[in-house]
Amino acid sequence: MKPMKHLLLTLALAATTAHAAQKPNVIVFLVDDMGWMDCGAYGSKYYETPNIDRFATRAMRFTDAYAQPLCSPTRASLLTGKYSARHGITSATGHQPPQPEGHQFLRATAPANQPMLVPDSKNFMEPSEYTLAEALHDAGYRTAHLGKWHLGLTQPHWPEQQGFDVAFHCHPDPGPPGNYFSPYGVVADGKPGGKNKVGTITDGPAGEYIVDRLADEAVKFITENKDRPFFLNLWNYGVHGPWGHKEEYTKQFAAKKDPSGAQGNPIMASMLKSVDECFGRIIESLDRLGLAENTIIVFNSDNGGNSHSNTGEGAKEERKAAKGDDAGSDWRKWAGKQPPTINTPLRDGKGTLYEGGTRVPLMWAWAGHIKPGTTSAAVVGHIDLYPTLLELTGTPRPAQQKLDGSSYARVLRGEGGLERKAFFNYFPHGASPGRAGGVWARSGEWKLIRWFGATDAERYEFYNLHDDLSETKNLAAAEPARVKELDALIDGFLADTGATYPQPNPAFTAKPAPIAKTLAPDDGTGPIAGWKLRSVKAETTTDGVRLTGSGRNAFLGTAKYKFTGAGEMHLRVRVPAGGPGMVHWRLADETEFKAEHVAKFDISASGEWQDIAVNVPAQGSVAQLRVYLPADKGPIELSALDARAASAKPAGKPRKK
């Protein structure tokens, strides 16, 4: 009987191995900040992307694919299959410390000049999420994450804890590790947010380019797992700031002109060329190893193209903060005052709810299953990747994971369309008529944007994207019935996802008392009422104050907030240069500020408003607070600055499921 049992076991194992070998491999290649028009396959006449363009001939290319306006929300949606309104990551805050348990994501109060209470973005992806990586791992796949993560600063929220067997990453990670060239300054252990980045990235030869290194790591993973099904999740650092580029490539593009007159930034063209080479090496390795026939390949971007950075005032400071004092002169040398890219014919870009900020390139290939060289106008997006890959790989849909996305496997196989009433995009941040972001619904060719906190006249923008791709003609007044129909769908979306969305500020005063043009150091008013300024000058703006500092020790101090135990400091800032910040506190039974009573945080370089919450882990009664901001690196706009006990409840009750 023993030989027979052994034979049966051997046959069973062989059958299991054969079944596993039939599962298609999966590669998701995500580019950071790549716009809809940023490759030849989508119409660019300036950027040179031969490998991406060749891939389009063996793929299905989607013309109406969407992502969130910023990266962290999109990344979380790709892995969870959920809208950002449900998973709570609504802005690019994945590099900031995680909020403590019980954190109130909608503040109770705001300065009198701020009409809306805007919710904080969650800074991490919940470990309880059953991710796409976990689903494929449990189905027998070997899984790897390579590159930018931006879904959690601390180790409990790293990719190794979310279903990935192999991870090549670092933290904090709004951009590349330190810079684009080795040595990268990443340590294997330590405290994220310190002098070095922490993670599993190791240095290569001096001057190695991180995009090339990602290609090396990808080819290594594919080769090591060629005899078993694998899931490679490669999230490229290119083409995000601080825009490290190979000068030999940049020189070539500096001499080139776009015949359409739209694009023309040689630094961005250089970086895209490197990303294209990275993608090409992965495709070549699949062909060489005989894996191309059994591999699903997805090419995508995390948000619309960056059409704002490095333009106008504050550009010099932004470049310096991104890469040091030489960065500004380097950008001016090659790109002048050009933004990273231009999204024409789409309106606007990254960080906005217009098409330029949310419409992205998306292509799928799988030999023998997806017809090559085809185009689809199906409205699909970030939330759909998870269920679509489950269906294509024959992986059961997990009962424990709520999926907002729909599988469009039928579209990929040419068997029909995708049925759903509408696709939604939720972004309660950034510039908008109500200064509180908005939400949109797309149904067929129609798109309705609802702005939170806007006046009746500005609340809705309604476009027919078939006739008006550039969103130039607001048809809200001319199409009241259609607006009402889509507006009702938005109500349903907010209720179903349990969105904590902006609410009116009960303390808002429409006509705040006038304040002096230049504020004296000890009589701060508006958002800095009750704060003393040290080595900081404050000037009023329409949104609050503009702060400039005269040294690294510049700070704002106050004794007006009293609480015992852990607290939270809240800031609403716009900082083109970015940089580190710090909250320092003194306890009531202490005579001086002690070095250990410090909470550090980072402010991303951005031309958009950011809502930042800083945990203040005090143990005792707080008597004084100081806030240090990187005002010495350039002007900082501030519209809110307040603190409260961590246990304080917000005023009002946001609609939440």
pTM: 0.77
| Residue whose tokens read 């400071």 | 317
Is 450 found in the same domain as 570?
no
pLDDT at 522 over 90: no
Is 455 found in the same domain as 402?
no
Number of structural domains the chain divides into: 3
106 assigned to some structural domain: no
Domain CATH number, residue 481: 3.30.1120.10
Stated as kind and residue range, the H or E segment containing 410 is helix 409-412
Is 532 found in the same domain as 479?
no
| Residue whose tokens read 């290194």 | 213
Give residue-wise pLDDT tens across range 80-133.
999 999 999 999 999 999 999 999 999 888 888 888 999 999 999 999 999 999
126 assigned to some structural domain: yes
Is 436 found in the same domain as 460?
yes
DSSP string of 512-530?
PPP--SEE-TT---GGGTT
DSSP string of 219-263?
HHHHHHTTTS-EEEEEE--TT-TT----HHHHHHHHT---TTSS-
DSSP E strand stretches across 501-609: 503-504, 518-519, 532-534, 536-540, 545-549, 555-558, 563-564, 567-574, 579-587, 598-603
Domain boundary among 412, 442, 474: 412
Q: Which of 6-15, 102-111, 351-360 has the lowest mean pLDDT?
A: 6-15
> Would you give the distance in Å from CA 205 to the centre of its chain?
30
Is 322 found in the same domain as 205?
yes
pLDDT band of residue 601 (cuts 50, 70, 90) is confident
DSSP string of 197-211?
EEES----STT-BHH
Give yes or no for a cis peptide into 242 (omega within 30° of 0).
yes
Q: What domain range includes position 440? A: 423-502
Is 542 found in the same domain as 480?
no
Is 256 found in the same domain as 153?
yes
Nearest to 361 by CA among 261, 253, 265, 272: 272
Give residue-wise pLDDT tens across range 436-483.
999 999 999 999 999 999 989 999 999 999 999 999 999 999 999 999
pLDDT at 292 over 50: yes
Is 149 found in the same domain as 203?
yes
Domain CATH number, residue 641: 2.60.120.260
Provide the sign of the torsion angle of the four alpha carbons 29, 35, 36, 39, taken in this order.
Answer: negative
Is 546 found in the same domain as 470?
no
- Rounded to 10 deg, the angle between the 247-254 and 266-288 helix axes is 120
| Residue whose tokens read 């619309």 | 304
Q: Which of 64-68, 531-535, 577-581 has the lowest mean pLDDT?
A: 577-581
HEC states along 276-333? HHHHHHHHHHHHHCCCHHHEEEEEEECCCCCCCCCCCCCHHHHHHHHHCHHHHHHHHH
Residue 550: per-residue pLDDT: 66
Query: How far is 237 from 184, CA to CA, in rounded Å?
Result: 13
Query: How far is 630 from 632, CA to CA, in rounded Å?
Result: 5
Is 170 found in the same domain as 46?
yes
Q: Which residues contact 581 (CB under 8 A, 6 or more apart)?
A: 571, 600, 601, 602, 603, 612, 614, 627, 628, 629, 630
| Residue whose tokens read 């023998």 | 368
pLDDT band of residue 253 (cuts 50, 70, 90) is very high
Give residue-wise pLDDT tens across range 209-236.
999 999 999 999 999 999 999 999 999 9
